[in-house]
Structure 1
Amino acid sequence: MSAQTNHVVIVAGAGPAGLAVAASLGKAGHDVIILNRDIKFGGLAEYGIFPSKLKLRGGLRKQYWELLEQPNIHYLGNVSIGKEKDLTVEELRGLGASAVVFSIGAQGTKAIGVEGDSAHGVFHAKDVVYHFNRLPGFGDRPFNVGKHVAVIGAGDVMVDIAHWLVRYKKVERVTAIVRRGPAERKYNPKEIRAVCANMDVEGIKKEFTRIKDRLVAVGQNPDEIFKSLTGEFTKCEPKVSDAKMGFQFLASPKRILVDANNQVRGLEMEENKLEPKGADTAAVGLKQLYEFPCDSVVFAVGDKVDETVGLPYKGGVFVTNPNKTANEPDDALFQAYDEASGKIVEGVFLAGWARKASEGLVGIAKRDGDWCAEVVIRYLGTRTTGSQAKAVLDKLHALLQERKSRPVDVKALRILESAEQKQQGATECIGEFKFVTNQEMIGLIDRG
């Protein structure tokens, strides 16, 4: 690509979506400056995959290293974007790049909306996942969960949390609380292998007996569903604790019950029934309440974006252009949009969970990044080139220096990687060693 058509694009966020955007734009000959809140790249691929899945994470990491060492890709970690952060959205837009892509994930937490949700022993799934993946700010946070943990949800995140609780926290019991029935479970059968050796099959059988009539009422066969659910308990990972795992189906938490010290002692639950909803079913409350004793509660109910970033925001999401285009993929889906002025935010795009929170994991995020890159490349084709990469980077470094920020480049990351590899086996961390605070990492790089 000639210098006349070579653009500079800033990508904020270095998770699977942002790195997919960067890879496509880099391949098309553009210069890409990647800014990342965390010191290390990877996002969900680094801090959202269960730590013992070393092969998957190792493969992704190898791809990402290859990308970041390309001459037209410029990486700076430890740079946060938003109000009262290292850089604001407007400052990024003023650096002279032709476009800015935000792939910063969904860093907000959905309000649980249940009375008592501020009690000791109430946790959000994302915080727990960040904790066992040793994300700075979370890795050294205590998670006192007690002996019996209720996990609200029926997807793969619930399974990962149950895996951690059963195999590493050595709790006595984990119960997945599921709003609908066993036929509507969302987790991948392969994922359940991590905990199926600890399944309380007798307890699950009793639970099926308890809800049997409500399944039959919507034409479901309880015996077949039980056989299907327990039939997935094959190729289980070896049992390493005596913890029991079970389910509470057709149940919605209405209130968190606490003791005199504001510590969780249980849940007030509402019995649900199923009602047909097209080809699917919906859970409908029966207004019958009961107490379910437990020591802590983890809500695996999804995420929202961080409204403090400074992008147009409404109802838990950043606002995208409502006016469809004829292009494929539809440009509008990726364009930031200011509802007050009724105009797109010129040159600003969204990808991954920043565009659609909690939508799939690494593969889905990568695909979204690929689509976003197509839209950005189309947009760049309509623009005259702006500043060259060196000018944008010089301006960026001057601004970060003024803010007394401490960006971390690829060379520094290699020093960090080498130090982490030396520590493997010297820790009880699941799977691999990670430094748990930014201060540790920066200190080590400086001594490097």
Structure 2
Amino acid sequence: MGKATGFMEYEREVPGELEPLERISSWAEFSVPMNEEQLRTQGARCMDCGTPFCHVGRMLSGMASGCPLHNLIPEWNDLVYRGNWKEALKRLQKINNFPEFTGRVCPAPCEGACTVGKHGAPVTIKNIEKSIVDRGFLEGWIQPEPPERRTGYKVAVVGSGPAGLACADQLNQAGHMVTVFERADRIGGLLMYGIPNMKLEKSSVERRVRLLEAEGIQFVTRCEVGKDLPVDALKKDYDAVVLCGGATLARDLPIPGREADGIYQAMEFLTLNTRSLLDSGLEDGRHISAKDKHVIVIGGGDTGTDCVATAIRHGCNSVNQLEIMPMPPLSRQPDNPWPEWPKVMKTDYGQKEAVEVFGEEPRRFLTSTRQFLSDDNGQLTGLEIVEIEWLHNAQGRLVPHEIEGTARRVPADLVLLALGFTGPEDGLLIQLGIERDERSNVKAAEGTYSTNVEGVFAAGDMRRGQSLVVWAIQEGRQAAKAVTRYLTADRLLRA
């Protein structure tokens, strides 16, 4: 390392942000970029740790520890410290197809496993990554690089989320002719419609898609395979098919009153908002508006936070977020040692904005919803909620128990369910005759990524279940390798 003692000399600094009351009037990203001197100083904090756990990328206690992409983090940190930005970009792109996405939306398991963070504040890996790729685009270093030769094989990728795009990119670079099918009106999947614009501006997604198109990938939108395109035609026209449709079946909350008007899945709320924003700046009215409403978001996590922030930008009267789990501790606990992902209390951008707008923390931990309330017209009016505690049952498992005397009713005009996803949708998988695992995901072994159907592969959330963008990119990359091995074997057999 160029600055072996940097981690002892410099404190962790993160980019500034526009103040909450200023940024909620806009749908633009609100991070304030750091200058080059600051970034080089932060790169210098990357220590000569010998075994860099930041890019190990493995599962510990059910959570990602280190970067699943095995990003060459110490290398590009050192190159940034030395001011060699162009070479840093080369090292970054060697492993990560889309650092402009992960640098914005990834929760940074790399930082949770950073050796500096074992006894202090970790290196600002995520921000350095974002700064490298943003500079690469700004300086014009990132240009289309189509493959020099074509193999003659045609591969179809179904789904244009991070797994599908990464898989298509790798397959195209290997020389195959790649077509990506997307049922929505825009390419990007989760990146386009599942993440709000203020967290990931869609110009970044569109810029990358244009680059992939210039490199030879064909994109087909408004085409749902199995409906608009028969599966038999797909298998006939392509030498291999990769399913990257995601885990899009949202978990519901089937309690009394669920049929009331005013209850929506979080992803429907976010998708319609972004589409309307891009189409008309929300002028067409084709979105679910939270304006002047009392909003309750049920569920935590990133999606819940995104709903809170979106509702505030609409101009809601209030917003609260119900979470059945207890509030996380403020610091690592003995049962959550480094390099596991730190399960500690974090206040994200949406909660910060809610505090500034409404004067209080929007999250209500250890709270369960008993029923939805509605008026005579079936319109949602509120919820009956109750406080709970987690106790061990006869089998030794922790289960929620209602606390007597804590039930109460709260007003609500709009409820958004941010409860995660249960797996992929059935239609296409049934038509193809794809086997499923015990969690209803596509059954395809890691390493081969092949399904029980000849020539059909699967990657991303459709295979592993709901997960991180960085895992989706890794799955797409690995599936592309498996497809190339399959096609190469086919060529040898025919020789």
Measured against the shorter chain, the TM-score band is 0.5 to 0.7
Distance in 2, Cα, partners of 1:287 & 1:374:
53
Retained in 2: the 8 A contact 1:253–1:268? yes
Q: Which residue of 2 aligns with 1:335?
A: 450
Q: Which residue of 1 aligns with 2:219?
A: 75
Q: Provide closer, same or farther for how the CA distance between residues 308 and 367 of structure 1 changes in structure 2, counting only shifts above 3 A.
A: same
Runs (4 or more) in structure 1 with deviation over 6 Å come to 1-4, 135-139, 184-191
Distance in 1, Cα, partners of 2:344 & 2:484:
35
Correspondence for 1:47 among 184, 190, 193 = 193
Q: What SS does structure 1 have at the residue aligned with 2:187?
A: coil
Q: Which residue of 2 aligns with 1:91?
A: 233
- Is residue 2:210 matched to residue 1:65? yes
- Is residue 2:176 matched to residue 1:30? yes
- Is residue 2:294 matched to residue 1:176? no
Retained in 1: the 8 A contact 2:244–2:462? yes
TM-score by length of 1: 0.63
Q: What SS does structure 2 have at the residue aligned with 1:182?
A: coil
Q: Which residue of 1 aligns with 2:479?
A: 372
By how many angstroms is 1:197 displaced?
4.3
Distance in 2, Cα, partners of 1:129 & 1:77:
20
Q: Which residue of 2 aligns with 1:320?
A: 443
Q: Which has the higher strand share?
A: 1
Q: Which residue of 2 aligns with 1:133?
A: 274
Distance in 1, Cα, partners of 2:152 & 2:306:
43
Q: What SS does structure 2 have at the residue aligned with 1:67?
A: helix
Q: Which residue of 1 aligns with 2:43?
A: none
1:263-322 per-residue CA deviation (whole Å, 9 max, x = no partner) reads 222223343213489xxx94522364613312132110112322122343757734314x
Distance in 1, Cα, partners of 2:372 & 2:435:
30
Distance in 2, Cα, partners of 1:190 & 1:48:
21
By how many angstroms is 1:43 displaced?
1.3
Correspondence for 1:290 among 388, 391, 407 = 407
Q: Which residue of 2 aligns with 1:341?
A: none
Distance in 1, Cα, partners of 2:363 & 2:351:
13
Distance in 2, Cα, partners of 1:190 & 1:23:
34
- Pairwise CA RMSD of aligned residues? 3.5
1:18-63 per-residue CA deviation (whole Å, 9 max, x = no partner) reads 11001111111111122221232111111122212356x4444323
Q: Which residue of 2 aligns with 1:192?
A: 348
Retained in 1: the 8 A contact 2:290–2:315? no
Q: Provide closer, same or farther for how the CA distance between residues 356 and 114 of structure 1 changes in structure 2, counting only shifts above 3 A.
A: farther
- Is residue 2:414 matched to residue 1:272? no
Distance in 1, Cα, partners of 2:177 & 2:458:
18
1:60-116 per-residue CA deviation (whole Å, 9 max, x = no partner) reads 432332111123x2222221112xx21122321122x21101112234333322222
Q: Provide closer, same or farther for how the CA distance between residues 75 and 53 of structure 1 changes in structure 2, counting only shifts above 3 A.
A: same
Retained in 1: the 8 A contact 2:442–2:462? no
Q: Provide closer, same or farther for how the CA distance between residues 94 and 316 of structure 1 changes in structure 2, counting only shifts above 3 A.
A: farther
Retained in 2: the 8 A contact 1:110–1:302? yes
Retained in 1: the 8 A contact 2:291–2:315? no
Distance in 2, Cα, partners of 1:4 & 1:19:
19
Q: Which residue of 2 aligns with 1:160?
A: 306
Distance in 1, Cα, partners of 2:294 & 2:361:
10
Distance in 2, Cα, partners of 1:35 & 1:385:
29
Retained in 2: the 8 A contact 1:6–1:30? yes
Structure of greater relative contact order (alpha carbons < 8 Å, 6+ residues apart)? 1
Distance in 2, Cα, partners of 1:130 & 1:189:
28
Q: Which residue of 1 aligns with 2:464?
A: 356
Counterpart amino acid of 1:92? Answer: L
Distance in 1, Cα, partners of 2:206 & 2:148:
31
- Is residue 2:246 matched to residue 1:105? yes
Distance in 1, Cα, partners of 2:265 & 2:253:
9
Counterpart amino acid of 1:38? Answer: A
Distance in 1, Cα, partners of 2:329 & 2:254:
23
Q: What SS does structure 2 have at the residue aligned with 1:101?
A: strand
TM-score by length of 2: 0.58
Counterpart amino acid of 1:125? Answer: A
By how many angstroms is 1:188 displaced?
9.6
Retained in 2: the 8 A contact 1:11–1:32? yes
Counterpart amino acid of 2:183? Answer: R
Counterpart amino acid of 2:235? Answer: R
Correspondence for 2:363 among 247, 251, 264 = 247
Correspondence for 2:491 among 384, 408, 415 = 384
Counterpart amino acid of 1:381? Answer: T
Query: Aligned ranges for residues 194-273 of structure 1 at < 5 Å?
Result: 194-199=350-355, 241-242=357-358, 245-273=361-389
Retained in 2: the 8 A contact 1:148–1:174? yes
- Structure 2 residues without counterparts, runs of 5 or longer: 1-146, 331-341
Total equivalences in the alignment: 323
Counterpart amino acid of 1:192? Answer: D
Retained in 1: the 8 A contact 2:290–2:311? no
Distance in 1, Cα, partners of 2:386 & 2:345:
27
Counterpart amino acid of 1:305? Answer: P
Q: Provide closer, same or farther for how the CA distance between residues 21 and 385 of structure 1 changes in structure 2, counting only shifts above 3 A.
A: farther
Counterpart amino acid of 1:154? Answer: G
- Which shows bigger deviation, 42-51 or 152-161? 42-51
1:141-199 per-residue CA deviation (whole Å, 9 max, x = no partner) reads 44467632211111111111101112x22222211111111117999978723441432
Distance in 2, Cα, partners of 1:297 & 1:44:
21
Counterpart amino acid of 2:310? Answer: W
By how many angstroms is 1:127 displaced?
0.5
Distance in 2, Cα, partners of 1:4 & 1:353:
29
Q: What SS does structure 2 have at the residue aligned with 1:47?
A: helix
Counterpart amino acid of 1:94? Answer: K
Distance in 2, Cα, partners of 1:86 & 1:8:
20
